[in-house]
Amino acid sequence: MKSIGIWGISVAILAGCAGMNDGSGASGSQANAAPADQHTSQNALDWAGAYEGVLPCADCPGIKTRLTLKPGARYELSTQYLDRQPAPQVASGSFSWNATGTVITLDGNGQRYAVGEGRLLLLDRDGPPDWSNSANRVLKRVQAAESARPSMAGLMQTLEDHRWTLDSALDAQGKPFGAVLPPGGRPFVFSFSGSRLHVQGGCNQLTGAFQISPAGLLTAGGLASSMMACEPALMQADRALADLLAKGLQVEFVKGAAPTLRLVDGSRNSLTLTGRATPEALYGPGTRIFMEVAAQRVACKNPLNGESLCLQVRDRVFDEKGLKVGVPGEWRPLYETIEGYQHTPGVRNVVRLKKFQRTSAPAGASSKVYVLDLVVESETVKP
């Protein structure tokens, strides 16, 4: 599998920023802190990739160095003392950006590098980097990030074609981030459609607009929430996730049969989600239908799975205004399952479904696929 990040190159814009030293973020009387909308190495350069060079050494001919910057602020550092090491020594870890988004610090050894277009400068002091007089401390990029990384359009299509289930939430030390995944809590599921993000799981449903910057930063601020009351831990999980999305999360995408989406914030908290192809991606457009599900299952002989109890359903019709139309259909056992629907004995539901038709169903499976879209009506029925 290949880790793939999404970045854009805004070299022309960066080059036109007068007074901004390459990799420093400050010049002359400029403040050290860059304005929020300023283009920086972090958000405007295609910095991911491998950089090589020979760095100076006090008691040897030099240190052959290869530093690879990866999506999700991860790095791999290979060093080899030219006169004493037969093979390079390799270390890996994470790195962080300074406040101006122009300098990175490796967490393993504390080395600091200014980031320029296609090059890195090893820093040995504070202050603006001196690119012109430090040629022996420069690493040049020899390999860009994975060439197979998808375009922005490709990424957006991949996001839409999958539902993303949150599998793990870890802090910077690799420990469970319980605020987002409390013990016994339900995992969040992300769905993307156009520029809209829908999240369900925790307690309430979160919905709103999202965007991914050219530098691969996903943000979704001002998410609307349903107003259910749940256990405090679940409600806190909703708030914690909404806060992370509002601040922004760096995107790392891993291809595979079950693709992985890794989202990392500035404090190195990370969310790992696994994608599952949507029915639309698998079967094409679906048809919207309504069904009423009886409060109790009924005895049946299910030819698909051999079970002896089935949901009892009947067809319902609603117009565009949501008003009931016509007479409900006849009750019948439903042999297929409804993806996303959990039946509670004693509770009658009217549900809106998406119905898909499979052109080639596996042996012993139905050609029909039903997916829950919305619970329209719910009622507890007394025995």
Copy the structure tokens of residue 380.
């507890």
Among the ranges given (181-185, 326-330, 346-350), the one the predictor scored with the smallest mean pLDDT: 181-185
C-alpha distances (whole Å) from 22 to each of 46, 217, 295 are 14, 22, 68
Name the band, by pLDDT with cuts 50, 70 and 90, for residue 266.
Answer: confident
At residue 147, the pLDDT reads 38
At residue 144, the pLDDT reads 59
Short-list 256, 217, 70, 92, CA closest to 146: 70
Name the band, by pLDDT with cuts 50, 70 and 90, for residue 29.
Answer: very low
At residue 26, the pLDDT reads 41
At residue 14, the pLDDT reads 35
Section 349-376 average pLDDT: 90
3-144 and 152-277: identical CATH topology? yes
Per-residue b/e over 269-289, b at no fewer than 16 CB within 10 Å? bbbbbbbeebbeeebeebeeb
Our CA angle for 347, 352, 357, nearest 5°, is 120
- Cα atoms found within 13 Å of the Cα of residue 301, Cβ hemisphere only: 0
Short-list 40, 64, 16, CA closest to 116: 40
| Contact status, residue 287 vs residue 303, Cβ threshold 8 Å | no
**What share of the chain in percent tops pLDDT 90?**
43
At residue 221, the pLDDT reads 83
Architecture per CATH, 152-277: Beta Barrel (2.40)
C-alpha distances (whole Å) from 26 to each of 130, 268, 348 are 12, 26, 65
Instruction: Output the CA torsion sign for 164, 166, 172, 174.
Output: negative
Question: Taking 80 as the threshold, does the pLDDT of residue 241 lie above it?
Answer: yes
Question: Taking 90 as the threshold, does the pLDDT of residue 202 lie above it?
Answer: no
Q: Rounded to an integer, what distance in angstroms lies between the CA atom of residue 133 and that of residue 30?
A: 22
3-state secondary structure of 368: strand
At residue 32, the pLDDT reads 44
Among the ranges given (27-36, 66-75, 216-225, 317-326), the one the predictor scored with the smallest mean pLDDT: 27-36
At residue 345, the pLDDT reads 94
Q: Rounded to an integer, what distance in angstroms lies between the CA atom of residue 163 and that of residue 200?
A: 11
At residue 361, the pLDDT reads 78
Delimit the domains of the chain by residue range: 3-144, 152-277, 281-380
> In the CATH hierarchy, which top-level class contains the domain 3-144?
mainly beta
At residue 19, the pLDDT reads 40
At residue 71, the pLDDT reads 76
Q: Rounded to an integer, what distance in angstroms lies between the CA atom of residue 2 and that of residue 21?
A: 34
At residue 287, the pLDDT reads 95
Question: Taking 90 as the threshold, does the pLDDT of residue 265 lie above it?
Answer: no
Section 144-157 average pLDDT: 65
At residue 38, the pLDDT reads 56
Query: SS3 breakdown of the chain: % helix, strand, coil, rounded to 5?
Result: 10, 40, 50
Question: Taking 70 as the threshold, does the pLDDT of residue 166 lie above it?
Answer: yes
C-alpha distances (whole Å) from 140 to each of 2, 115, 306 are 23, 10, 64
Section 123-145 average pLDDT: 82
The values of phi and psi at residue 118, to 5°, are 75, 20
Name the band, by pLDDT with cuts 50, 70 and 90, for residue 143.
Answer: low
C-alpha distances (whole Å) from 37 to each of 19, 27, 100, 208, 248 are 16, 17, 11, 23, 15
First to last CA, the chain: 54
Q: Rounded to an integer, what distance in angstroms lies between the CA atom of residue 142 and that of residue 383?
A: 73
Q: For 273-291, how does the pLDDT look when each residue is reduced to its tens digit (9 = 90+)?
A: 999 999 999 899 999 999 9
Question: Taking 80 as the threshold, does the pLDDT of residue 148 lie above it?
Answer: no
Q: For 77-118, how does the pLDDT look when each residue is reduced to its tens digit (9 = 90+)?
A: 989 888 888 778 888 888 999 988 899 999 878 899 999 999
DSSP one-letter string for 167-231:
EEEE-TTS-B-TTTS-TTPPPPEEEEETTEEEEESSSS-EEEE-EE-TT-EEE--S-EE------
At residue 4, the pLDDT reads 40
